[in-house]
Chain A
């Protein structure tokens, strides 16, 4: 190994459970915040960037969400599901609210989230990512497009129906079918 290569080696850190890190954050441990940031900032930033299509706005959302964790880690309880999954959904919701210049809606975020897998584990997360991408690529084009418009573009079912000219019921069915196919595909 060259000298330059040697100094650029990065040390790896052992994984710690999300719940343990949140408990440390609750006690004011800043290092635990760093670990949570390193674990999930890529997901949060990528989802925000996908919705907002602007790096500065995406970082604003990233900062806002991690500050929310710092200020109130107890708002996320273990029974609510996976922290990674919750962050992904909250990031999407916050980004859409920001697009629409709407006050953040907390109601849905207070509901539980069935953990889709262990997102704290990078290898497992990458596997889920790959599987999900394959399932989505295999969806019928209308379903794929409708889900994308709903989730990433934040268009409501009514707006999608208006834009595409499809009946409202069809739009609702497409969203539901796409999500059910995704669920089934990941369980397979």
Chain B
């Protein structure tokens, strides 16, 4: 593989593509550790591959992907280490003898063991050790008892939690009715006076509880979306009165949906932030996967009165 102590030019892109067999790759990496020229060439190929990656057709990730990520991020909060000032060490004069470091100056000081000196207080110290041990034994016993009680409580609570309440069962049934593919959905209107049915226009109904961020959206008579497209629901936030002119709160994506064969669709409990006062709701057509910002035109809109 190596020619004149360098990696063969044809093999350099293969390393960047991770195509070399394990042993050859290991050899190449050893060579790269010491060869600046080959390393630079691999870096250039990595850059070429990054550019080539951009030639793939661009798609926006699903609208809720960011929220999902940020939930995971929030779960893994970082513990930021506190930066401590480094102890200032003064260089010893060349003629000075080098002294052993003082205790407590380092982060991990090694304590030297010294033979204990015999004194009159040695006997008292020995008895106080037994007293402490006895005290610890009592504390351990108490802790064990507490743990048993807590474990028993946890078991009881788990058993209660696993049994669905009547309210839970009803909520589940409501959710299933709303989202079931087999559910019949009929929009009702005033019957036409002449008996001739009026053309069915797309319509949507949203029920929204802002303080809990809970939303149910049901739509009917929707037209099918083109291939690769989807409908997306947006919460249009109420603009604060004191907001500077020209700056407005962005619409919040509230889920994508596609109508079934009858033009019906629903979005139930999408992942949206709590406490957003809505000015209204809108529906747009976006690329599959949804968008972070709405694309005009709005196909359905409803503003609060």
Contact = CB atoms under 8 A, between A and B. Distances in A.
From DSSP, what is the main secondary structure of chain A's interface residues?
A: helix
Contact of A182 (B32, B48, B68): B48
Contacts of A172: 10-11, 13-14
Given A8-B251, A30-B74, A37-B69, A112 B52 contact: no
Interface residues of B, number: 69
Contacts of A6: 248
B105 to A, nearest CB: 28
From DSSP, what is the main secondary structure of chain B's interface residues?
A: mixed
B58 interface: yes
B59 to A, nearest CB: 5
A78 interface: no
A50 B56 contact: yes
Given A116-B48, A132-B55, A55 B288 contact: yes
B19 A157 contact: yes
B44 A114 contact: yes
B234 interface: yes
A7 B29 contact: no
Interface stretch (B117-125, B197-205, B290-298): B290-298
B155 interface: no
B47 A50 contact: no
B58 A128 contact: no
A47 B56 contact: yes
B49 interface: yes
A113 B236 contact: no
Contacts of A11: 247-248, 250
Given A3-B303, A37-B66, A111-B39, A46 B59 contact: yes
Interface stretch (B75-83, B96-104, B164-172, B219-227): B75-83
B11 to A, nearest CB: 7
22 contacts: A7-B251, A8-B236, A8-B296, A8-B298, A28-B77, A41-B66, A43-B53, A62-B65, A70-B73, A85-B47, A88-B53, A89-B50, A89-B53, A107-B25, A108-B15, A108-B18, A128-B54, A129-B58, A133-B55, A156-B19, A176-B10, A183-B47
